[in-house]
Amino acid sequence: MVDLITLKNKIIGGEKISRTEATELINAPLEELCKCADEIRKHFCKDGFDICTIINGKCGRCSEDCKFCAQSARYKTMIEEYPLLDTDEIVRQAKYNAERGVLRYSIVTSGKMLSDSDVDKVCESIKAIKSEVGIEVCVSFGLLGVEQFKKIKAAGASRVHCNLEASRNFFPSVCSTHTYDMKIETLKSARLAGLSICSGGIMGLGETMEDRIDMAFDLCELAVKSVPINFLNPIEGTPFEHNAPLSDDEKRRIVAIYRFILPDASIRLAGGRGLIADKGEGCFRSGANAAISGDMLTTSGITIETDMNMLKKLGFKAELWNE
């Protein structure tokens, strides 16, 4: 059995965990694993907590076939569909979030990628946010290239989000209309444009723990420092609507293992957190140190006020991390 204390000290000493060692964590005693993960978090990240919010800037009518997603035009789901929001609405919600202590605001749009004309429109919104609000801006606009990302950076955005979603091995079971390598190329293009990158995945799609570990190592290789962990919220009408939910203990184990593999990252609880009985508190005691607050894209989340109170209770302080 893996010696968790020795492995924790190895990581704190600056060494990387091996894939074999990470796999041994699958059967490690949960409470000790989570305690060690939180100690790794405290060593590398102190008590900073990166809390962000998102706005669904363009909803539905997506050409892609991601089997978890309510926004795919291929599935019959009960969501509102609308084109790109105007600047006034995007700025209004940015102000609302900033007034409540949120430091990072992400504009997310449906579809494989924004058109060049929509990129130009949303760049005007980003400029307005930076001028009128001052909050950090993250974007998730699909599989864009370097030149588009340069425009977005020039407008004032600082980060690009593009989830890998699953391991390379499992990804074809999730989506067939674009590839894992296209996502990796998007992240590399964003970085070439001078933007920081945010990428993680969804747990509970049918993947194994080994798949989750494989994705974590890919994120490590890409030097991703903001890692969203989503837990599948099965949506009626999607191919994954009947997937069994993960247990809360399995969610804590995933977070702890990710902290061992990505010791200095912002491990961010994202979609599906509202399904956890304690709203993620156990995961925040197991190595997580960031969250998406408020509503998700097509599902309800946890209010900013509730999250801010939780941060105080756990001894965290809201701050930008891994810029």
> CB of 77 within 8 A of CB of 238?
yes
CATH code of the domain in which 29 resides: 3.20.20.70
Query: Any idea which residue has 């599989």 for tokens?
Result: 143
pLDDT average, residue stretch 35-43: 98
What pLDDT, on a 0 to 100 scale, did the predictor assign at position 299?
Answer: 55
The domain total for the chain is: 1
pLDDT tens-digit map of 125-165 = 999 999 999 899 999 999 999 999 999 999 999 999 999 99
pLDDT value, residue 59: 85
Task: Please tell me which residue, 297 or 227, carries the higher pLDDT value.
Answer: 227
Whether the predicted pLDDT of 296 surpasses 60:
no
Q: Tell me: pLDDT of 168 over 70.
A: yes
Cα–Cα distance, 219 to 228 (Å, whole number)? 11
pLDDT beyond 80 at 38: yes
Distance of CA 177 to the CA centre of its chain: 21
What's the rounded mean pLDDT across residues 11-40? 97
Q: What is the pLDDT of residue 79?
A: 76
Is residue 2 one of the residues assigned to a domain?
A: no
What average pLDDT does range 257-261 have in this prediction? 98
Determine contact, residues 226/270, Cβ cutoff 8 Å. Answer: no
Per-residue pLDDT, 323: 58
Dist. CA 40–CA 226, nearest whole Å: 16
The verdict on residue 188 lying in a domain is yes
Q: What is the pLDDT of residue 64?
A: 87
Is 60's pLDDT higher than 80? no
Mean per-residue pLDDT for 245-265? 97
For residue 231, is it within any domain? yes
> 295 pLDDT band (50/70/90 cuts)?
low
Q: What is the CA radius of gyration of the chain?
A: 19
Strands (E), the chain: 48-58, 104-109, 136-140, 159-161, 196-198, 201-203, 226-231, 266-269, 290-293, 317-318
Residue 121 lies in a domain: yes
Interval 199-254: pLDDT, tens:
999 999 999 999 999 999 999 999 999 999 999 999 999 999 999 999 999 999 99
In this prediction, residue 36 carries a pLDDT of 98
Output the pLDDT for position 1.
75
Q: Greater confidence, 70 or 22?
A: 22
Query: Which uninterrupted H or E stretch holds 141?
Result: none
pLDDT of residue 77: 83
Residue 2 has pLDDT above 70, yes or no: yes
Q: What is the pLDDT of residue 300?
A: 58
- For 113, the token pair is 């990628």
Domain containing 107: what range?
A: 23-318
In a domain, 298, yes or no: yes
Flag whether the pTM goes above 0.85.
yes
Residue 298 clears pLDDT 60, i.e. is over it:
no
